Every structure is written in C-alpha cells, then in structure tokens.
Amino acid sequence: MTVKKYLQDRIFAIIWFLFGLALLCLGLWLDPRQLVRWDTLLYLALLLTGFGSLILWWGYHRTKRWVAPFEERLAAGPEALAWPIKETLRHHDQQLVAAAYNQLIREHREAQSALIARQQDQQAFIDSWVHEIKVPLAAAGLLRDSLDGKAPEQPLDELALQLDKINFFVEQVLYYSRLDSFSKDYLLREYDLAALVDSVIVDQRNSFIARGIRFTRVGGPLTVVTDEKWLRFILTQVVSNALKYTASGGRITATISDNSQEATLTLADTGIGIPADELHRVFEKGFTGTNGRNANQRATGLGLYLADRLSQKLGHKLTLTSQVGQGTQVTVHFPHLSFYGEKGTTLTKPQV
C-alpha cells in the first residue's frame, strides 16, 4: 500500500479534521472573553496539524504491515492458497479477519482434496470400464467374423459398422477422461504422416463402404514429429465428422503439404458444410450447431473439441473452413522445429 492510496482512503477524515480545526481557531478568535493573538492561533493550528500528521504516519505504517501479507499472496497467485496468516496480532479486528481467511483456506483445501479424490475414483472407474467393455466388443467382433459366409452379408456388415461406432465412442470417453493427464502419457517421435492417415482410413473402412464414400490422398510421404496414438485419435475424430455429414457418393480428400514455415494435413469433404455464423464455435465443448441438431446424427459436440485440445497439447494447431453445401476443410498444422539454425518438420540427429 502506498501513502497516496492510504490518504485517499482517509480523505474525508482529513477534511473533517481540518474543518474542525478551522472552527476551533475561529471560535477562539471571535470570543471576546479570550484575548488570543492571531500568531498564537497559527502556532496552535500548526501544532495540532503536526500531531495529526504523526498519527496518520503511524497509522500508515501499521496498516502497511497488516496488508503486506495480503499483497504477497495476491502476487503469488494460486500458490498463496496454502499460506495461512499468523493470528498473533494485537488488534481484535485483524485477528478476526485473519481467522476468517485461514478458515477459508482450510475449507478450500478440504474441498479440493475431496474433489481430487472423486475425480481419481471416477478416472479409475472409467479406465476400468473401458478396458472391461473392450473384451465383449472384441468377442462380438470375433463372433461376427465367425458368421462370415454362414449368415446374410448385409446384417453382418451392419453389425460390423455398429461395432466400429461403439469402439469409436468408447475411445472418445477414454481420451476425454485422460485429457487433463495428457503430460503423463505421450511420446514424441518421427512418423510418416501419410502412413498415419492411411491407417486411420483403414480403421474407418466399414463406414466408407457402408456410405459409399471415396477417399483420396494427395501428397506424401512426409515425416513429422508427433505422438502416434494421440494424432491417430485426432484424425479419427475429424474423419468421423466428415463421414457423418457427407452424403453417399461423396468424397473425402487428404492433402499433405510442406512449406518453409510448417507442414499441413488438410482433410476436405464434400458434405453439407457449416453455416458461416457458427464457424467460430465449432471447437467449443458441447457445441453441435445446426447440423448436429437437424441431421439426425445424435451429435455430442465433443469430437472437434477433443481434437483441438489435443492438437494444442501436441504443439500442433487445428483450423477449419467451410461453406454451406460445398463441404468442410479441417487442417492440422505442424509448425517446423528450430534448433541452432536448423529448421524443418524434423531435426537431424547430432553425430555422437
């Protein structure tokens, strides 16, 4: 706290003091029974003013010592939530404030600990549930394969498609639950971007076949530094969205390119597109938009949100452009790495 702010907080008290001092001097000067010289009144006014200034100065230093711990906690930010204030204070009002502050800190710690415990329990349950449900899903897939040639082809194809959708949503739940613990589970290495795209398309082959949608890849191979598992999930979310909103007979095109600043992967579809007034919200959590509500697709609004968040955590960037009736283009940007003058999608390993 500065002297200026301290005086500003007490400006009315100072004005009332000066007003009362002026009334006192005026009363003594006008009283016919008191023969007081004007220089004596001036001396008295200066003496009282000096005494009041000393009181203000003493009060300023006392208040400064009192507010200093709060200023330190404001500067420290979230770390100060673990710093209690010593209650060994002289004034009862300050002791009351310190006790209330420390009680809030204790309650915050308890609430935070309880919340973390609940989140850990929920995370453990989701992880266990995902791994448990993968067993019957795998068994259902094997059962479907065993019926190949023994049952009508169309129901088997539809069963395979639905199993793929279930696997997709199970993986989405798992990755969403791990979003905050991303730093504990990633490994950056060099990967061929074209091979990653092809593997994602192969995993989605049942959906491509069922909807009669063609796929074309332009460009590649191109090596980038990323995490295979997380990038595959990002691409799966984007491709799944493209399949969902592209009519039968449409096309999805993957274009891989590289320039002096970055490498890019653009996934373009010939789908229904996104209204211009909704483009700025497509990466918001839970946003489904007009298409999600009207296309009978049971959209959750999590796919692009997860893809965008994970792209940021990997050091990539996701952008989207679209026009109604002309399709959507989602681009994954891989900024070039730079180290000691060298720059590119990957860096040459130093000679040992």
Domain annotation covers residue 222: yes
Domain annotation covers residue 29: yes
Taking residue 327's Cβ as centre, other Cβ atoms within 10 Å add up to 22
Instruction: Quote the CA–CA distance of 299 and 288 in Å, as a whole number.
Output: 6
| 79, 187: one domain | no
Predicted pLDDT at 295 = 57
Domain annotation covers residue 349: no
List the one residue out of 216, 222, 214, 215 whose CA is nearest residue 194. 222
Domain annotation covers residue 73: yes
| 307: CATH | 3.30.565.10
Predicted pLDDT at 301 = 74
Those residues of the chain that have pLDDT short of 70 are: 34, 87-90, 181-185, 292-299, 339-344, 347-352
Domain annotation covers residue 114: no
Task: For the chain, give the longest Cα–Cα distance.
Answer: 126
| 324, 193: one domain | yes
Domain annotation covers residue 172: no
Predicted pLDDT at 34 = 66
Can you tell me whether residue 76 is helix, strand or coil?
helix
Total domains, the chain: 2
| 188, 77: one domain | no
Predicted pLDDT at 176 = 75
H/E stretch holding 7 reads helix 3-9
Number of continuous H segments (helices) and E segments (strands) in the chain: 10, 9
Residue ending a domain, among 25, 55, 83, is 83
| 63, 187: one domain | no
Can you tell me whether residue 327 is helix, strand or coil?
strand
pTM of model > 0.75: no
CB 185 within 8 A of CB 220: no
Report the DSSP pairing between strands 214-218 and 251-258: parallel
Output b/e per residue, 157-183; b: 16+ Cβ within 10 A. eebbeebbeebbebbbebbbbbeeebe
| 230, 338: one domain | yes
Residue ending a domain, among 48, 83, 118, is 83
Domain annotation covers residue 340: yes
Residue ending a domain, among 83, 112, 129, is 83
Domain annotation covers residue 13: yes
Predicted pLDDT at 254 = 92
Predicted pLDDT at 5 = 84
Instruction: Quote the CA–CA distance of 339 and 56 in Å, as a whole number.
Output: 59
Predicted pLDDT at 243 = 87
Predicted pLDDT at 71 = 82
Instruction: Quote the CA–CA distance of 167 and 170 in Å, as a whole number.
Output: 5
Q: Determine the structural domain holding residue 237 and report its residue range.
A: 182-344
